[in-house]
Chains A and B, each alone.
Chain A
Amino acid sequence: MSLISVENLSLDIYGTPILRDVSFDIAQGKVFGLVGESGSGKSMTSLALMKLLPDGARRSGRAVIDGRDLFALDEAAMCAIRGNQIGMIFQEPMTALNPVQTIGDQVAETLVVHGVAKRAEALAIAREKLDRVGLDGARFPLDRYPHELSGGQRQRVCIAMAVALRPRLLIADEPTTALDVTTQAQILDLLRGLVEEEGMSLLMITHDLAVVSGLADHVAVMQEGRIVEQGPTEELFRTRAHDYTQRLFAASAHRPAREPTVTDEILLTVEDARRSYALPRRSLFGTAPKLEAVRGVSFTLRKGESLGLVGESGCGKSTLTRAILGLEDLQGGSIRLFDREPVKPGMANALRAGLQVVFQDPYGSFNPRWKVSRLVAEPFHLMPHPPADARDRVNDALVEVGLRPDDADKYIHEFSGGQRQRIAIARALINRPDLIVLDEAVSALDVRVRAQILDLLARLQETHGLGYLFISHDLHVVRAITDRVMVMKAGEIVETGETEAVFANPQHPYTRQLIAATPTIPAQWQMQEHA
């Protein structure tokens, strides 16, 4: 039986078309997955259901729940429905809670504003709800503030808030995208459990096909404001009737064709690297406690090799990366390129020239006031004199990454996220370094663009004999592009090995936990026509 039916939902914001004829039904007690790339309109669909659209939005169509059309209700009636009939959680748990109010009050508020309970009683119910979402009273009393909680814990508070009144529909808009894989697995389990126990329906919005495959009963695929295909999850995943669905599928399972030529020559040597930070002191006179971010890491990377480094946030990989880039001092151990002087801040330019980097954020990686020609040429600073053929080399680098020479005269805002990542790669290549550090370099990209960038990286590695240190939280990507992989936890490398061997037969319990937590599309669903 269907709980809510959305019929012909269309939406414009200040005249820009956002949604066109979106129709779907969500069945009672079932999970409905809405997948699509960024900008496909999936979040706007959910905000339209809540009638929380931004200014300038014009909407048409119907959303019927219990015979009532939500879109025909006035604001007061809608307030009575939000939080009561329909609950919602959002992507960014770090900012979704009011920083100056305790978690108890925020959960209790749902009950108070709907007149279900007075504050004291509401707090008692809030306690139960927090217990239900896995925040026990001993460690998470009601008077905790959001800043004292981790991202995953905050998302649990958001869930407790959204389900406090046992709504019939819960909308979850990318609820695990900002979280680590193990936390993601726990939150997904929690959502699955709530759906079963409370009999509520869940509208799960995500860009991640693997996440919906393991959770949703029904799936709809969105592209440019339209639903291009929908149906029961397994059936849709197996048949992939629509061309766009096929391409999404192919891209998310994409593995670039690699024929690595790993040499025996050692390019990077990290020996017993250590780095700790002083934390704020707990008492007035005690010594400051230390956070040991990197605790004795050693490894080598060979010329032409692609080495992965995986770990969750806070494991120390960022600190280690900064040290390898020579941006931060170590407190113990050493980092060397070949057998030259140690890598450290203030090292000679000639030494630095062997090393380049591509960062995660395609939008923050470029000075917006410089033209591409100057951006790409920036590493020439490392040479004693700028080369005479600098402009030609910039053009060559742009062509190599799949852009045109006349792109050099444009500013960065004229490019898309994927193109910017290509420019970042061109910049990293311009000095012909030996090692490129790829710091979550494809994490911010949509799957199809990501597949293209991975192909580009694989090709460049072969033609230039580059060494890659590929840092990522995404196990799929690391598996697709690396020869060996290291798993980092709490400042230490807990497991190292050939990538395929580690994934097929993980030795360390943490590696197993990571692999188990990573959502995957069941292999048998993918059998036919593997692209």
Chain B
Amino acid sequence: MKRLPMTLVAGALLTAVFAVAALVSLAWTPHAVEGMNIATRLQPPGADHWFGTDHFGRDILSMIMVGARTSIAVAVIAVGMGMVLGVPLGLLAAANRGGLIDEVIMRGNDLVFAFPALVIAILITAVFGPSAVNAIIAIGIFNTPVFARVTRGGALSLWTLDYIRAARVAGKGAGRISIEHILPNIANLLIVQGTIQFSLGILAEAALSYVGLGAQPPTPSWGRMLAEAQTMIAMAPHLAIIPGLAIVLTVLGLNLMGDGLRDILDPKLRRAR
């Protein structure tokens, strides 16, 4: 059995901490996150409230746990959306490489790339109002061309290989070849890209919630916690520091995991030693 890379282990552990926190929060949190308790407001980290309380007296640890749920849900659904839309588009473009369909898909890709996720969120919010669902849609749209491009790139290099030509000589059409030969051989690429987009999605959700375009009260969200902490940063810095650390550690964990996965999944990048 080959040794797993350190980055993969560390990343997976870090990610697991937040995933577990999010799952546990479905059933239990140390304190209730709804409702105010003025008596316990703005407490620093201590024995009862490990991470302290905010200006409404809510327990920060509990809010971090529930916020993890929001972040992970938004990012996972947005990555799923990007994959479901982007991968078939990429496969289709590669199967018609050089043709009109390829051209249209790639130009469409470029067009979406011209709209940063924030701008998509602004457009959607301006018309439909802010919500977590809009954040998901904005990030999902942003992810689509990323997956389309990665899929197409990976697929194009495979289409030149002789085993694809052999499959064509065996009478297989482009659709069947894409599913039987191409997709399994680019799965590694997609998994690695998926973890990268997952971590970008966490960052994007936080940013959108921070400017008020994402999750709305009373849904706890790391980004909104930071927005609320901002005015009180001088007197209660822990309100800003803790949710930020939660974001950094989650993203770090996902990125390390992505690097580790690439090391074991992509033999080209595997070190010679």
Contacts and interface: CB of A to CB of B under 8 A. Distances in A.
Interface of A: 14, 54-56, 325-327, 349, 352-353, 355-357, 359-361, 364-369, 378-379, 381-382, 424, 427
Contacts of B170: 352, 378-379, 381-382
B31 interface: no
B169 A327 contact: yes
A229 B272 CA distance: 32
B273 A427 contact: no
B168 A365 contact: no
B172 interface: yes
Contacts of B216: none
B171 A365 contact: no
9 tightest A-B CB contacts, nearest first: A359-B162, A365-B162, A364-B161, A379-B170, A349-B171, A382-B171, A364-B162, A378-B170, A352-B171
A56 B273 contact: yes
B205 to A, nearest CB: 35
B163 A327 contact: no
Contact of B163 (A352, A365, A381, A382): A365
A382 B169 CA distance: 9
A6 to B, nearest CB: 26
A164 B165 CA distance: 44
Contacts of B162: 359-361, 364-365
A334 to B, nearest CB: 19
Given A55-B272, A56-B273, A365-B162, A352 B169 contact: yes
Nearest to B187: A369
Nearest to B160: A364
A398 B172 CA distance: 23
A325 B172 CA distance: 13
Given A55-B272, A327-B165, A359-B166, 7 more contacts: A14-B273, A325-B165, A357-B166, A359-B165, A365-B166, A367-B180, A379-B170
29 contacts: A55-B272, A56-B273, A325-B169, A326-B169, A327-B168, A349-B171, A352-B169, A352-B170, A352-B171, A353-B171, A356-B169, A357-B169, A361-B162, A364-B162, A364-B163, A365-B163, A366-B163, A367-B163, A367-B180, A367-B181, A368-B185, A369-B184, A369-B185, A378-B167, A378-B172, A379-B169, A379-B170, A382-B170, A427-B166
A44 B162 CA distance: 30
A228 B162 CA distance: 37
In this complex, the interface size class of chain B, counting residues with CB under 8 Å from chain A, is 10 to 19
Contacts of B172: 378, 381
Contacts, number: 59
Q: Which of A14, A359, A361 has most B Cβ within 10 Å?
A: A359
Interface in B150-176: 161-163, 165-172
Among B167, B170, B180, find the residue whose CB has the most chain A CB atoms closer than 10 A.
B170
Contacts of B273: 14, 56
Interface string B167-202: 111111000000011001100000000000000000
A325 B164 CA distance: 13
A355 to B, nearest CB: 7
Most chain B beta carbons < 10 A, residue from A55, A364, A368, A369: A364
Nearest to A347: B171
B188 to A, nearest CB: 10
A264 B167 CA distance: 31
Contacts of B166: 357, 359, 365, 378, 424, 427
Nearest to A368: B185
